[in-house]
Structure 1
Amino acid sequence: MDTIHLSQQHVTRHRTVERLIRREITEKEAADLLGIGVRQVRRLKRKVRLGGITSLIHGNAGKPSWNKRPAAAVDTIVQKYKTTYEGFNCLHFRDMLTEREQIDIPRESLRRIFVTHDLPRKKRKTPRRFERRERKPQEGLLIQQDTSFHDWFGTGIPCALVASIDDATSMVVFGKFSPTDGTLPNMEAMMAVTETHGIATAFYVDRASHFKTTRHESIHVQLTGVYDETQIARALKEIGSTLILALSPQAKGRVERLFETLQDRLIKELALAGVKTIDEGNRFLESWLPGFNRKFSVRPANPKSAYRPIPNHLRLRLILSIQEERIVRADNTISFRGQEYLLHKTPHRISFAKTTVTVHVTIDGTIRILHQGQELSFTMAWTKSLGNGEDIIAGE
């Protein structure tokens, strides 16, 4: 004999309908007591007269769901998690099952498997207490850029990941691993964004020393509060973009949350791909980021792009470089970072002695020297001892 399990709601409904059948209450009163409509009361009355109290139980009660996943399939999913994808959160694991294992499973079904088999789940965070800022309405209005030092490859050696994200769309417009953080890695990110998309209206960054000069407190700084311009601030001003300095990490929360996601998802997929070096990591990022953007980017409120085209006269490679001025010595040489450089003559000038030239260190580390916008050729100069106390400069 099958056991019938009745809830308190079933009992209440049955007693109310029985009173209605005995004409102790009206259909309107029964509907008010049960919180349902009069037509539903009439259907319940008809069911109880035909089948008694068991007719109030749903016909599918006690039966297995028609779309229930077979136990063998569930065991396969659990085994794959424990052997290959351990540590992945529920949503990331679902993406891996779809992309790598060709197993399609709804998110809620996978969550129930996590709960049933006591698989680790991401802990719910405490509510944020910061007022959220609305997204910019157009892509290209604001690019948030930051660097995250982390053991990305599981080798025990941290490295930097420089990333830029569009505030309007959450699209990662640049990402590259680098041994260190500094001026040139961040300039490379800004140049890549500019060459690929156009000139952004503003870059939103932290107050690191390569964005804001804070290394000295001269009397001028103490009196005015004005610091010397950094190389990055100077370069962005030349291309017509603005550098905005955040007052706290929460202010640029979009890129901070990006790194939080990458330190969860990207690290695990780098490990799956066997990536161990920076070069391998950058090749992996090139193919991985487009899929990440398709999954997590959103449409801007205004579909019109705010990126501006690059004017033909702008020499991005020279603008986005470290620039320092040097005065040419009488022997037509300059000293830069411990090295001597001999300038060659040009069709219009034999010597540049006592003139000021600008030395550019480009993103790839190349040295370029310019005088009044004209690029000069040069060779490395060095000294050779003649053994009698006299030195000569090679190239003279």
Structure 2
Amino acid sequence: MREDLITLSKREIERLRIIHRVMGKQMTQVKASELLGITDRQVRNIIGKTRNNGDGAIAHGNRGRVAANKMPAELEVRIGGIVKRRYPDFGPKFASEKLEEREGIKVSKEKLRQIMIAKGLWRVRRRRKEVHQWRERKAYYGEMVQMDGSHHDWLEGRGPELVFMGYIDDATNRVFGLFYDYEGVFPAMDSLERYISLYGLPRSLYLDKDSTYKTTRQPDTDELLRGKMAETQFERACGELEIEVIHANSPQAKGRIERTFGTLQDRLIKEMRLAGVRTKEEANLFLEWYLPIYNERFSRVAREEGDLHRPLVKHINLREIFCIKGKRTINNGYIVK
């Protein structure tokens, strides 16, 4: 390109036209500042540069220069190769974290996104429009805990398909969970017992209407006499511990825990892949290390100070509560019914 040629954008050409009118006394500096969206002081600076250096001064001073912090092409190629070999299905943010943590290469999420797009490893994604109103979070830690089971191929074929029984505190986003072979009354009771042993009794549990948590049967005679609705064994156990059970009326109502499951199905799965986890036992041991790191990064401060988890009274034996209970009668023939 010839050195005496000046390349200007449409915006810069319009800016130069206005500056020439000010220099020709056809427009005031105040009016020019309004049209250009800058201060009148900046207008005076541009006029001074134009008088001293000509019309080319209207162009940005860094145009045509190589940025001082531009990444060398060799490093871009190297990074692209590493991502393609080791992190092909990682998003730019997660991949940048792993590059720094495991490869010792520090690169910003945006720069890595550009490299991945150029290599065909990432596609630009549009955000979906939110069409429902978000429910405000609870104010206190322990005020409400969302609980659900996530059925997924967590081990990506390296081991059995598992269910992640997850708990997320509504106020802080803190996550607790364990892997089980299935979602049912025993995994639900076992996981809640472990949660209580670590954190205490939450004020309420927010659940879906899976048959483990809500029954469709009619109340039996004993329940009718006590004025209670029919309940599952899990609801009965929560009632004995004075934990309020709240059932969500739609999948959208459980959006907070579903989004958390989506994040874990992305990040946790890849972390377990890198660690070579193959069994349920290894996966649960991995969670003991991983979840504190996850909570440190993704949890938030509750609106109000204080922990509403209640301590477990010493005389309460959780094993006597988290079990299957039923009432039986003995007739005159000493037969149990």
What's the counterpart of residue 79 of structure 2?
77
For 1:151-300, list aligned pairs within 5 A: 151-155=153-157, 157-172=160-175, 174-214=176-216, 216=217, 227-300=229-302
TM-score normalised by L of structure 1:
0.76
Contact 1:17-1:30 at 8 Å conserved across structures: yes
Amino acid at match of 2:38: I
Q: Secondary structure at the match of 1:80?
A: helix
- Alpha-carbon distance, 1:284 to partner: 1.2
Structure 1, unpaired ranges of 5+: 331-352, 357-396
Cα RMSD after superposing both structures:
2.7
Q: Deviations over 1:158-186 (max 9, x none)?
A: 221111110101110x2111111111111
Q: Give, in whole Å, the separation in 1 of the partners of 2:36 and 2:23.
A: 15
Q: 1:122 to 1:188 in 2, by over 3 A?
A: farther
Contact 1:89-1:122 at 8 Å conserved across structures: no
1:130 aligns with 2:127: no
Amino acid at match of 1:128: E
Q: Give, in whole Å, the separation in 2 of the partners of 1:37 and 1:259.
A: 50
- Alpha-carbon distance, 1:152 to partner: 1.1
Contact 2:220-2:230 at 8 Å conserved across structures: no
Q: Give, in whole Å, the separation in 1 of the partners of 2:124 and 2:61.
A: 37
TM-score normalised by L of structure 2:
0.89
Q: 1:263 to 1:58 in 2, by over 3 A?
A: same
- Alpha-carbon distance, 1:117 to partner: 2.9
What's the counterpart of residue 301 of structure 1?
303
For 1:8-157, list aligned pairs within 5 A: 8-121=10-123, 123-155=125-157, 157=160
Q: Deviations over 1:212-231 (max 9, x none)?
A: 122x45898xx999753211
Q: Give, in whole Å, the separation in 1 of the partners of 2:301 and 2:149.
A: 25
The structure with the greater share of residues assigned to strand is: 1
Q: Give, in whole Å, the separation in 1 of the partners of 2:270 and 2:208.
A: 27
Q: Give, in whole Å, the separation in 1 of the partners of 2:102 and 2:152.
A: 26
Q: Give, in whole Å, the separation in 2 of the partners of 1:19 and 1:251.
A: 60
Q: Deviations over 1:196-217 (max 9, x none)?
A: 1111000111111121122x45
Q: 1:20 to 1:94 in 2, by over 3 A?
A: same
Structure 2, unpaired ranges of 5+: none
Q: 1:200 to 1:33 in 2, by over 3 A?
A: closer
Contact 1:10-1:56 at 8 Å conserved across structures: yes
Q: Give, in whole Å, the separation in 2 of the partners of 1:128 and 1:42.
A: 46
Contact 2:141-2:302 at 8 Å conserved across structures: yes
What's the counterpart of residue 315 of structure 1?
317
Amino acid at match of 2:309: Y
Larger Rg: 1
Q: 1:32 to 1:271 in 2, by over 3 A?
A: closer
- Alpha-carbon distance, 1:329 to partner: 11
Matched residue count:
330
- Alpha-carbon distance, 1:48 to partner: 1.1
Q: Give, in whole Å, the separation in 2 of the partners of 1:82 and 1:186.
A: 40
Amino acid at match of 2:140: Q
Which 10-residue stretch deviates more, 104-113 or 283-292? Answer: 104-113
Q: Deviations over 1:344-381 (max 9, x none)?
A: xxxxxxxxx9699xxxxxxxxxxxxxxxxxxxxxxxxx
Q: Give, in whole Å, the separation in 2 of the partners of 1:162 and 1:230.
A: 18
- Structure of higher RCO (CA pairs closer than 8 Å, 6+ residues apart): 2
Amino acid at match of 1:259: F
Q: Give, in whole Å, the separation in 1 of the partners of 2:18 and 2:67.
A: 31
- Alpha-carbon distance, 1:33 to partner: 3.9
Q: 1:122 to 1:25 in 2, by over 3 A?
A: closer
